[in-house]
Amino acid sequence: MPDIVVTDVIASSVVKVIEGGNDDFAGVITSIGDSRPVAVVLQDPQTRRVLGGTMGLSSAGLLFLDAFFLPMELRGRGLGKTILRKFEEEGRRRGCQSAFLHTINFPGFYARNGWKDCGRTPCDPPGTFRVFMTKNLEACP
């Protein structure tokens, strides 16, 4: 019998087996095995140091936004909107028809950019919610 291990350290070999297996299985179900990572990175023009951005993946016609970060000192300049738009454009270029994300901190930012609340679930601390959002990428941005 194989061992079952719980860990908070996820090696690339673990990601390869689990995501690869899921991609293979999804390919059998959908006839599409096209899961690909995508990132839109904000970097310092001189040092090329990464300052923030967004990352996720596209798969079977869906664009998943997994993480978005913009430092406080760079907010309020339209950079977040531009990064999000470029992320969505790449999803469209890949043939994605819709996008999905979940957030605790900034549902208003996404809503102002055309994302719709499609569900909420309570999380800690009490009174806080994880907000699930989606966006139709087929419509004009």
**Per-residue pLDDT tens listing for the chain (141 residues):** 888 778 778 788 877 787 776 555 444 444 445 788 999 999 999 999 999 999 999 998 999 999 999 999 999 999 999 999 999 999 999 999 999 999 987 889 999 999 999 999 999 999 899 999 999 998 655
pLDDT recorded at residue 60: 87
pLDDT recorded at residue 30: 44
pLDDT recorded at residue 28: 43
Q: Can you give the three-state secondary structure of 77-137, one letter per residue?
A: CCHHHHHHHHHHHHHHHCCCCEEEEEECCCHHHHHHCCCEEEEEEEECCCCEEEEEEEEEC
Beta-carbon contacts of 102 under 8 Å, excluding residues fewer than 6 positions away, are 130, 131, 132, 133
Residue count (the chain): 141
Give the pTM.
0.79
pLDDT recorded at residue 141: 52
Separation CA 80–CA 109 (nearest Å):
9
